[in-house]
Structure 1
Amino acid sequence: MKKYISIDIGGTAIKYGIIGEDATVFSRDETPTRAEQGGPAILQRVIDLTEALLQTTPASGICISTAGMVDPVRGEIFYAAPLIPNYAGTCFKQVLETKFGLPCEVENDVNCAGLAEYRSGAAQGSRSMVMLTIGTGIGGCAVLDGHILHGAGNSACEIGYLRMRGSDFQTLGAASVLSARVAERKGDPAEAWDGRRIFAGAQAGDAVCQEEIDNMVDVLGEGIANLCYVLDPEIVVLGGGIMAQEAYLRGRLETAIRRYLIDSIASHVRLAFAAHRNDAGMLGAFYHFISRHPV
């Protein structure tokens, strides 16, 4: 069986491991990204991880999922938020292929997560899906008939920047915003409230937590409805740590989406919650790789 190195580069952690040609995850581990050190340091970290993995497992390719806007043909970052300084211009594909003599493919992390859900997760069997990841910001991905929608400049579905209510989608509806709003209303430092504490408070009857979750849900409902008007997907998949609260959120989100959608569209759009969670980026990077290098 062929095996592949898969590396998922996020703002906080780099997840990495070995995946078989049948999508079995044979090993997984993670290390801090140390994003503040910038793009060159991250590239070196990826080289070091690849060298270490190759010492124990012969591999047939290198699969990369990464934060930032990616040119998937060149395998290069062409835009990144300030969270990772000097990341734009990092060309993983050229550097890794030259150093290791193995094919390498690179794709945006949210696109990878969406592809993983489409191929073997919550959207398996659908023809069209949209995925949102709700975290520090809001990321998006659309998969149509098995293909990621990249757009003319490889920046399709940068949905966090959608203009809404005089602001933008992620400034209004991200999980980080929920935490900041609760902390502000409580008069606490921002770091005192995370999603887990907020949802525990809401379930215990804390009115501030309940109100702020409802505000976030209403923003998400409107944003998702706007995406459905444009793309008309069969299924909308929600990911990100906060979406582990499916039991609390599902009914509220379904109601909010219907509030903003006309019945003829709402009647056939299904809401789902991500199945792959921590493995989504690694799996999606693998699926992207084999779409370019069939097993």
Structure 2
Amino acid sequence: MEENFICLDIGGTSIKYALAAGGRLREKGSVPTEGRTAGAEGVAEKVLAIVDAFRDRGLTGVAISTLGIVDPAAGRILYAGSSIRDYTGFALKALVEETTGLPCTVENDVNCAGLGEYWQGAGRGARSLVCLTVGTDVGASILFNGRLWRGANYSAGEIGSMRLAGGRLGELASVRRMVQRAAAAHGVSAQSIDGETVFDWARAGDADAVNAIAGLIAPLVEGLANICCMMNPERIVLGGAVMAQQQYLAPRICADLDEALPRAFHSATRIAFAELGNDAGLTGALCHFLMRRKDAQAKAKHTGLTEEAQKVR
């Protein structure tokens, strides 16, 4: 019998959701997060309302991807900055399970994006994988043999805080800074253009737009070089809306990486571009749910066998 799950991806701007059946996302939608005004409780109310709207589908569980540093076992938000008021310390998993009676898993959004790309996207088959998302900041997830490396306090992959010569990687390689640089050169408001506009200008031969994009690529490649030196991964997947400009970015990123590092340091590392787009977090949230359930079942079976062995003795 096919199981149905409700998957949610809680971001600073919107909460995306989808019904998942047979590993496929259906009936997708989104609502505004409004985290600064609604706060953690208000966001949780939106999550519960979405789950309730799908209750007649015979849901098996709730799989959540969310911004912030997450304790995945407890499903608690350890740190979330200011995007959602009072979100730090919020016990999201416990609230959902107590209210709905459904099992729930919670994981960091970039970790979920990495799991999604590993499961169904550009990371398929990679034994070691780093998945980056480039947007208003830069984040990453790290996977070895399909398992997330979360770090001692679940903050592994927070490479936006990596220190480069000019500052934080997340600031230097942000799409926001690229847009601001191009807008200033053209004497227009940064709010009047977006990243796609900058790439359109660059393809039309605009030197200022080309320089603005180069200003994003340079620190990004510096970060990639550091990752290659430290981890030597089999694959690096680049995601985020800006990476839809693969045709423009790929040759420049690869050429700059060749200049930044001897080939011996990264000759076995393939640079790939994310394939799942906005569905990566939702897909990864489902993957995370299924993996945690499988682990729990294996643990229960092992515990049962151990108890049986003790009885035999």
Task: State the TM-score, normalized to the length of structure 1.
Answer: 0.97
Q: 1:280: Cα distance to partner?
A: 0.7
Distance in 2 of aligned mates of 1:263 and 1:244: 26
Q: 2:291 maps to which residue?
A: 291
Give CA deviations for 1:60-97 in whole Å, capped at 9, x if unaligned: 11100001111101101111121222111221110111
Give 5+ residue unaligned stretches, structure 2.
298-313
Alignment check: 8 A CA contact 1:36 1:83 kept:
yes
Offset at residue 118 of structure 1 (A): 0.8
- Which residue of 2 is the match for residue 98 of structure 1? 98
Distance in 2, matches of 1:165 and 1:179, equals 21
In structure 2, how many angstroms separate the alpha carbons of the residues matched to 1:64 and 1:97? 12
- Structure 1 CA distance, aligned partners of 2:180 and 2:282? 30
Aligned residue for 2:12, secondary structure, equals: coil
1:115 aligns with 2:115: yes
1:166-195 C-alpha deviation (Å, 9 max, x unpaired): 411011111111011112222222212210
Corresponding pairs, count:
293
Residue identity opposite 1:105 in structure 2: T
Q: Identify the residue that residue 44 of structure 1 maps to in structure 2.
A: 45
SS in 1 for 2:130: strand
Structure 1 distance, partners of 2:141, 2:259, is 23
SS at match of 2:139: strand
Q: Name the stretch that deviates more: 178-187 or 273-282.
A: 178-187
**How far is 1:202 from its partner?**
0.2
Distance 1:164 1:265 in 2: 19
Partner of 1:279: 279
Deviations 1:231-257 (A, max 9, x none): 111111011111110011000011111
Question: Match of 2:44, SS?
Answer: helix
Letter in 1 for 2:9: D
Q: Deviation at 1:147?
A: 0.7
Q: Which ranges of structure 1 fall in alignment gaps of 5 or more residues?
A: none
Change (3 A) 1:166 1:249: closer
Q: How does 1:231-270 map to 2 (within 5 A)?
A: 231-270=231-270
Three-state SS of the structure 1 residue aligned to 2:105 is strand
Taking the aligned partners of 1:265 and 1:118, their CA distance within structure 2 comes to 23
2:25 matched to 1:6? no
The match for 2:73 is 73
Helix, strand or coil: the match of 1:61?
A: strand
| Greater shift in the superposed pair: 42-51 or 187-196 | 187-196
Give the superposed CA RMSD.
Answer: 1.2
Instruction: Identify the residue that residue 25 of structure 2 maps to in structure 1.
Output: 25
Contact 1:76 1:91 in 2 (8 A): yes
CA displacement, residues 113-156 of structure 1 (integer Å, 9 cap, x when unaligned): 00010111101011011011010100111111111110000000
Instruction: Spell out, residue by residue over 1:181-215, the C-alpha distance to the aligned partner (whole angstroms, 9 max, x if none).
Output: 11222222221221010000000011100011112
In structure 1, what is the equivalent of residue 149 of structure 2?
149
1:203-214 aligned at under 5 Å gives the runs 203-214=203-214
Please report how far the alpha carbon of residue 262 of structure 1 lies from its aligned counterpart in structure 2 after TM superposition.
Answer: 2.1
CA contact (8 A) 1:182 1:193 kept: no
- Specify the alignment match of 1:224 in structure 2: 224
Task: Give me the whole-angstrom Cα distance separating, in 2, the residues matched to 1:166 and 1:254.
Answer: 21
Q: Indicate if the aligned counterparts of 1:116 and 1:287 stay in contact, CA closer than 8 A.
A: yes
Indicate the larger mover: 178-187 or 109-118: 178-187
Which protein shows a greater Rg?
2
Q: Give 3-state SS (helix, strand or coil) of 1:42's partner.
A: helix
Aligned to 2:159: 159
Identity of aligned residues (%): 39
Paired with 1:261 and 1:111, the residues of 2 have a C-alpha distance of 27
Q: Residue 17 of structure 1: CA displacement?
A: 1.4
Contact kept? 2:166, 2:172, Cα under 8 Å: no
The residue identity in structure 1 corresponding to 2:99 is K
Q: How far 1:27 sits from its partner (Å)?
A: 2.0
Alignment-mate amino acid for residue 141 of structure 1: S
Is contact 2:232–2:266 with CA below 8 Å preserved after alignment? no
Tell me which amino acid in the other structure corresponds to 1:9: I
**Separation in 2 of the partners of 1:293 and 1:273?**
29
**8 Å contact kept, 2:122–2:274:** yes
Q: TM-score, normalized by length of structure 2?
A: 0.91
Contact 1:11/1:35, CA 8 A, preserved across alignment: yes
**Displacement, 1:265?**
2.1
